Structure 1
Amino acid sequence: MDIGPLLGSGRTADVYALDGPWVLRRYRHGFDATGELAVMSYLAASGFPVPRIGPPAEDALPTDLVVQRITGPTLAEALLAGTVTEDEGADLLARLLRELHAIPARLSQDPEDRILHLDLHPENVILAPEGARVIDWLTTREGPPALDRAMTSLILAQVSLDPAFTAGARLRDLLAALLTRFEADGGVPGDALARATALRAQDPQLTAHETAVLDEASALVASLSGGDPAHFRR
């Protein structure tokens, strides 16, 4: 397959058109897609809604990942457009994490560990005609499910605190609704939120503002979870 025009760029990767129903996701900064490919293949075989893996492109690099081209808005776009409500968005995010965490770990011998996405937020959920699909598995690792719930909550809180994001109040409504759904799955314990905050602080892709509001975002998650915000700070 020949690599076609650039379709879009994110923080870590560029996406190019390919022949047929495929796109090429090419990472920058030397990120290797090999581990992501293995996890997505395992999840697809387990029935989790990830894009299908395609055949390698010509002259493929270790930073390349060929995946199904999915049409449809992201959950973020649907929330902003008002075609999905905050409650519906919370239901979907909670369900996707619950289904992901029902799948046994691929490598870990700890029976409590599961595959974690660690970046599951509305921009990484595409509302395809055949159902929601979860994309961007670069940050995946294995560990306790509470860490995944904490990271999703923390990311939503960070974005809601960005003054350039005009729908911050609606995003906080989504976060509050999501935390309510998480209660049935064990909630967001303090140790998980503290660990998520520490991991997030180590992310070199964060903007200066995201780094600056990290403690405030952690405190917001803690307060909406009914905890003591001071307890959750790094």
Structure 2
Amino acid sequence: MTTLEEADSAGTPGPLLGAGRTADVYALPGGRVLRRYRDGSDATGELAVMARLFEQGYAVPRVWPGPTRQDLVMERISGATLAEAVAAGTVSADAAGDVLATLLRSLHALPAHRSTDPADRVLHLDFHPLNVMLTPDGPVVIDWANTMEGPPALDRAMSALILAQAAVSMPEFATLARAVLQPFLDRLGPLDPTALARARALRAADPTLSAAEVAALDEALALLGPLGRPA
């Protein structure tokens, strides 16, 4: 892995490329970007997970340490998000569901990095079409801020819940989310009710969600149905 000094030598952050709920992304020289948490959150755990996944051949950007603990230096990824591709009609909802399910299965086929439970895996826990980028070399999974280790059923449940929540509470994404949700679940199979309940609790405790988004969680669960298939 590149050292902290080598990452610093990439230069002072350039233009702001984008801003998410918790972090900003700046251009760097050499085909890299700097992602910086606005609230000072520590990015070192996320860095370690992404670096290990990259070494294992999973589809994540290459990463380096940033100048401070709240920074993450990544290779600059070009391409549309999976959500943008579906909205543009260049990828069908059915194909998008297949891409999401395939990427999750590939992630959960890899061993956990720290857990001593042989059933645990690395979980993304914010896995949806906006966090998959379609590059010339294939899809790449971004935004690992929520990553932890645990049962794969929790990751599957969280992804389904996020899509269902978008379907019932986000007008700008509702049609897309509903279209992708069914093929995604068709490929995953029924969701575990216990995992769904835990996913709802984690989602409700997410400080980046608005009160309206939290209030929509029960409607999202109702959409999914008792076994994780749309009602």
TM-score by length of 1: 0.90
| 1:179, distance to aligned residue in structure 2 (A) | 0.7
**Please, what is the CA RMSD of the aligned residues?**
1.5
Structure-2 separation of matches of 1:95 and 1:195: 23
1:43 aligned to which of 53, 77, 100: 53
Q: 2:72 aligns with which of 65, 68, 71?
A: 65
Aligned residue identity for 1:172 = R
2:22 to 9, 12, 26: 12
Q: Which of 203, 206, 210 is the aligned partner of 2:206? A: 203
Q: Distance in 1 between matches of 2:115 and 2:58?
A: 19
Matched residue type, 1:216: E
User: Counterpart in 1 of 2:4?
Assistant: none
Tell me the matched-pair count: 221
| Structure 1 CA distance for aligned equivalents of residues 40 and 26 of structure 2 | 17
In 2, Cα distance between the equivalents of 1:25 and 1:216?
33
Sequence identity (%): 57
Letter in 2 for 1:50: V
The offset of 1:221, in angstroms, is: 1.5
Instruction: Decide whether the 8 Å contact of 2:193 with 2:227 is kept in 1.
Output: no
For residue 173 of structure 1, report the CA deviation from its aligned partner: 2.4
1:30 is paired with a residue of what secondary structure?
coil
Moved over 6 A (4+): none
5+ residue gaps, structure 2, are: 1-10
- Aligned residue for 1:52? 62
Q: Cα distance, 1:176 vs. partner?
A: 1.2
Structure-2 residue corresponding to 1:132: 139
Distance 1:161 1:118 in 2: 19
Q: What TM-score, normalized to structure 2?
A: 0.91
Q: In the TM superposition, what is the alpha-carbon distance from 1:225 to its structure 2 partner?
A: 3.0
Residues 94-141 of structure 1 show CA distances to partners (whole Å, capped at 9, x for unaligned) of 000000000000000000000000001011000011110000001000
Shift of 1:31: 1.2
- The residue aligned with 2:175 is 169
